[in-house]
Amino acid sequence: MERKRGNQKTRVGTVVSDRMEKTVVVMVERKYLHPMYKKYVQQRQKYKTHDPLNSARIGDRVVIEETRPLSKDKRWKLKEIVQRAPVL
């Protein structure tokens, strides 16, 4: 049984690196309206994410969830793979 504490944040992003063991780097893009210029601005942020099964590959669309600190940089875990990248 997995205990939940509060509400974990979730993000949807694309895997940009899978070269580490049990870790993937996920890039999350968001658009927001700039308060002064009233123009939409795109912001990107990368999250190191725990992937215990090494199942995600570069290009996959994934959902990540906030978790306790797992290492110096990892504070997110892979929740599900929404869409697989096309195989070339």
27-77 pLDDT, tens per residue?
Answer: 999 999 999 999 999 999 999 999 999 999 999 999 999 999 999 999 999
* Structural domain includes residue 5: no
Domain count, the chain: 1
- Answer with the residue of higher pLDDT: 4 or 49: 49
Residue holding tokens 């090494």? 54
Please state, in angstroms and as integers, the Cα–Cα distance from residue 27 to each residue in 37, 48, 67, following that order. 26, 9, 17
In a domain, 2, yes or no: no
Per-residue pLDDT band for 5 (boundaries 50, 70, 90) equals confident
Helices (H) and strands (E) in the chain, counts: 0, 5
Host domain of residue 30: 10-83
pLDDT confidence tier of residue 2, bands split at 50, 70 and 90? low
Q: In angstroms, rounded to a whole number, what is the distance separating the alpha carbons of residues 10 and 67?
A: 10
Structural domain includes residue 3: no
First-to-last C-alpha distance (Å) of the chain:
39
Residue 39 lies in a domain: yes
Q: Is residue 78 very low, low, confident or very high in pLDDT (cuts 50, 70, 90)?
A: very high
* CATH code, domain carrying 33: 2.40.50.140
Predicted TM-score (pTM) of the model is: 0.88
